[in-house]
Amino acid sequence: MRSTRAFLFAAGTAFLLDPRQGERRRHVLRARSLALVRLGSRLGVRKARLAGGHARAAVALSRRLHGPLDQQALHSEIYLARTLIARGEPAAAESMLRADLSGLQRIHGGDHPATGEALRKLGHALIALRRYPEAAACLERALGVFRRFLDERHTMLARVRVHQAELELERGEAAKAVAIAHDALDRFARLGLTEHPAALDTRRILGRALLALDDRAAAVSVLEGCLELEERLFVAADARTEQTRAALALARAIPPARPSRRAASHQGTRPFTMVTPRPASSSTMFQPPRASFQSSKISDQLGSP
């Protein structure tokens, strides 16, 4: 954290000392924008507006100096799209990412890890826009691009799986979300990145999916571990920490339902109605209680006319 702040201070000092050198200014602004975006993973969305402002300045300077298809400008816009999604502007992020994807494909002559990153961010924006079929197609395509150019153990594949777990959860497929989240967490564990912000996002998604499946004990366990890490790594007002805290409060609010066998046997039948007992005759007053219960149960299931 201190090294990142020191880097930002040094970059800002260089910018103030020599503001008229366009090339140097462009590199300084881009470096500051990327560092602020990465710092945003610890500071939350409160710095998203500041990071977005620096990224926009870097993009404008890059395009003025090197034209509309400058590769660094396109990469800066990919980072800028992340801040737009964090600020609740997924529609603006989508239009920007589609233009960046087209430009990167022209530069690289087709697919490239950079196009995979644009597709991953585009899928994230489409999830926020609730356009789930398009998001699924983008994420599958991003996964295919990364598998072509990167090792199967690369962190980008794990990060795509995080978005796929979120997608399944948002469209109501909690069981699929649990399976994908476990796969993503296994990938992060093999990479030694269990405290990566994306790994914490995966834990939060897993806890919410378990809660949707009514496995409250497991959801509480996962969300408690996630919240402990977030409180240690993020600032107190981070939006992600608040999301985890809200999900944990919901999981703790209602205890797990433990119906008895008799209650479970009546699930799906008609509600029980009280019937005024008739006076017992000499032929029925000594009838065994179990037979009486079974007959009343059958008549209850059939229902009265």
pLDDT digits (tens, 9 = 90+) for 72-100: 777 777 878 887 888 888 998 999 899 88
**pLDDT at 60 (0 to 100):** 63
Kindly state the tokens that stand for 230: 């977030």
> Is 184 strand, coil or helix?
helix
Rounded Cα distance between 160 and 148, Å, is: 14
Average pLDDT over residues 105-133: 94
279-304 per-position pLDDT tens digit: 444 444 434 444 443 444 433 443 43
Rounded Cα distance between 32 and 7, Å, is: 8
Kindly state the tokens that stand for 185: 């967490």
Reference 127, options 93, 104, 157; nearest CA is 93
Helix runs in the chain, H state only: 2-17, 22-43, 48-66, 71-86, 90-108, 113-128, 132-149, 155-170, 174-190, 197-212, 216-233, 239-253, 261-265, 289-302
Rounded Cα distance between 60 and 68, Å, is: 9
User: 293 or 162: which carries more pLDDT confidence?
Assistant: 162
Rg of the chain over Cα atoms, rounded to whole angstroms, equals: 28
Percent of all residues in the chain with a pLDDT value above 70, rounded to a whole number = 60
Percent of all residues in the chain with a pLDDT value above 90, rounded to a whole number = 49
Average pLDDT over residues 112-133: 96
Residue 178 scores a pLDDT above 80: yes
Residue 113 scores a pLDDT above 60: yes
**pLDDT at 226 (0 to 100):** 97
Please state, in angstroms and as integers, the Cα–Cα distance from residue 16 to each residue in 6, 9, 24, 29, 59, following that order.
15, 11, 11, 11, 19
**pLDDT at 83 (0 to 100):** 79
- For residue 262, give the DSSP letter: H
